[in-house]
Chain A
Amino acid sequence: MSVARYHSQLRQSAAERRAETHPLTWRLREDGAMVGLDEYVAKDGYAAVREVFDRQSPEDVVATMKTANVRGRGGGGFSAGMKWSLTMKGPDIPRGYLLCNADEMEPGTFKDRLLLEQQPHLLIEGMILAAYANHSYYGYIFLRGEYVDAARSLARALEEARAAGWLGRDIAGSDFDFDIVLHTGAGRYICGEETALINSLEGQRANPRDKPPFPGQSGAWGKPTVVNNVETLCNAPAVMRHGADWYQDLSADVSEDGGTKLYGISGKVVRSGLWELPIGTTGRELLERAGGMRDGRALKTWLPGGGSTGFLLPEHLDQALDFDTIGELGSRLGTGLLTVVNEDQSVLSLVRNLEQFFARESCGWCTPCRDGLPWTVKLLQALERGEGESGDLELLDKLADDLGPAKTFCAHAPGASMPLQSALKYFRDEFERGVAPPSHAAQADSTPGFIHQQVR
């Protein structure tokens, strides 16, 4: 068969990956098969758990994670140590839940899939450490339903870990009890939102919850709940094994943020792929690793970390890909997987594709999101056909603002607003060209497009 089955792949050879510099990927096998329990243990696996249980209190773990400054790799960039410090815990407070967000669905993102399929024990070890730090007695891996290969790896790894005493009662003679259940989803991007994920886990519609209370105070079934991304949790074992200073040093030359990042690139490049590199690596280095632009076409624009991040320009390629630097450019690091667009591509059409995605995936809970996104799509489609009306660009500006932060329960609409707002800023001429000349507009149906939308 000429069509290849898809398998996750890292574009770094074993020779390039070392324990001292590649904490997330140095154990991965050249053949791409899952690293089983024996191999994981032989490669220093579960050593961090043993060490922590021997010598450190949960408070120590939180403090180390805080100093290491592991920022949330799901795209939010919130310090994991800080999040863990805010979890309610104490003698009178029931032990709660640790949820691993493995609902990877951000357009352009394919990093957690690699860790889940090939190295599930690293995630389990990270979850044990997180559970210990947060007094969680039960963990769930919320995995998107389409990640069938990852589900197989995780099921096997959970069984292996349980049989070896790394999960269950009295883990490694520590008196600490913790177990993990694999929970698979049934579709919908919104499940990746922290509080929607909790609702979905509880068997409800995945609408987000109002905050406060934050999950750390009252999350799943009203108990203190920690939600962390796969990659974030996978950083914990090395941080606890080698210390916060070592972790900071991994990226000290290039960023204030600690550690390494699973970076990736896709779109119009020669070789798309994934690499583990110090956080703060530049877009230019990634583009070079990807062999440059495909077919010799010029770079037009790029998204730094998924569909819910703002467009950047070629001139931004030398900036550090870390949370603060990309934030200062008006975008977000997001998941850190670049989507590369060449000169032949209409940005207007790409934005329409993105907004169609966000419109479809809106859970419908909040008005700006539920109604604003289809309206946006309608306007963009009209511009694409060259049938936009005067005032449409200003309307899109207004919509981008109304979809922005603090107007909805969750970050879905603000995420959708980012590519729209930045495209209107950097590629406004493309939108302007979609407005029909006055004579043509006068002949067209005078009913604004959004009215059609609402009637239908």
Chain B
Amino acid sequence: MTDTIRTLASDGFALTDEERRAIEHEREHYEQPQAACIEALKIVQRRHGWVPDAAIPAIAEVLGVGVADVEGVATFYSLIFRQPVGRHVILVCDSSACFLNDYEALRDALSARLGIGYGQTTGDGRFTLLPVCCLGACDRGPALMIDDLTYGPVAPDDVAELLEGFP
């Protein structure tokens, strides 16, 4: 275990001073430092697009918590990415209201256009495609998110034009 930690930690990964300060600032919001864990993972993800293994011990060190605790959290949450993703992440709502409005056709259109399925990234590193829980846009389904933006309703025919906005 100790060896593993050393290997991870020596993987050339270092938090920037800014990231370290941001994580320390988040820590102030909670009674125990571990609570800042999710926010810390997001801070790392903001720079890299994902959370490399070597970031885990670095975060654990700043928060003063166990590596396994951070790793446990990092593998639980669907919006913390543990492998590289594209420049833009597409989240396709696959819940009941969008299902009734045929999100499957939208998903298939995206898949065909990008040549990838869920969990995959296009060869040019532009898009990653993922499913997501009900986006709370049921009155305008089928809905999807690209990065921070939510769209709905999105018809399969809209896909080409929509994606053009995300170089």
Contacts and interface: CB of A to CB of B under 8 A. Distances in A.
Given A345-B100, A361-B133, A206 B94 contact: no
A264 B140 CA distance: 12
Interface in B58-104: 65, 69, 72-73, 76-80, 91, 94-97, 99-101
A339 B100 contact: yes
A357 B137 contact: no
A109 B32 contact: no
B99 A3 contact: no
Ordered nearest first, which 9 A-B pairs have the shortest CB separation? A187-B78, A186-B77, A272-B139, A203-B37, A266-B138, A107-B95, A187-B79, A203-B34, A6-B150
A447 to B, nearest CB: 27
B143 A6 contact: yes
Given A5-B151, A186-B79, A357 B138 contact: no
A233 B148 CA distance: 27
Given A5-B150, A6-B150, A357-B95, A203 B73 contact: yes
A148 B152 contact: no
A296 B42 CA distance: 47
Nearest to A152: B148
Nearest to B152: A6
Contact of B151 (A3, A221, A354): A3
B32 A203 contact: yes
B47 interface: no
Contact of A107 (B31, B134, B143, B158): B134
Interface of A: 1-6, 9, 104-110, 112-113, 145-149, 181, 183-189, 200-206, 220-221, 264, 266-268, 272-274, 303, 307, 337, 339-341, 345, 350, 353-354, 356-357, 360-361, 363
A221 B72 contact: no
A229 to B, nearest CB: 14
Contact of A185 (B38, B72, B99, B137): B38
A108 B121 CA distance: 29
B151 A4 contact: yes
Nearest to B134: A107
B158 A2 contact: yes
Given A107-B95, A202-B32, A203-B36, A4 B140 contact: yes
B18 interface: no
Interface string B132-167: 111111111101010011111110001001100100
Contact of B95 (A108, A186, A274): A108
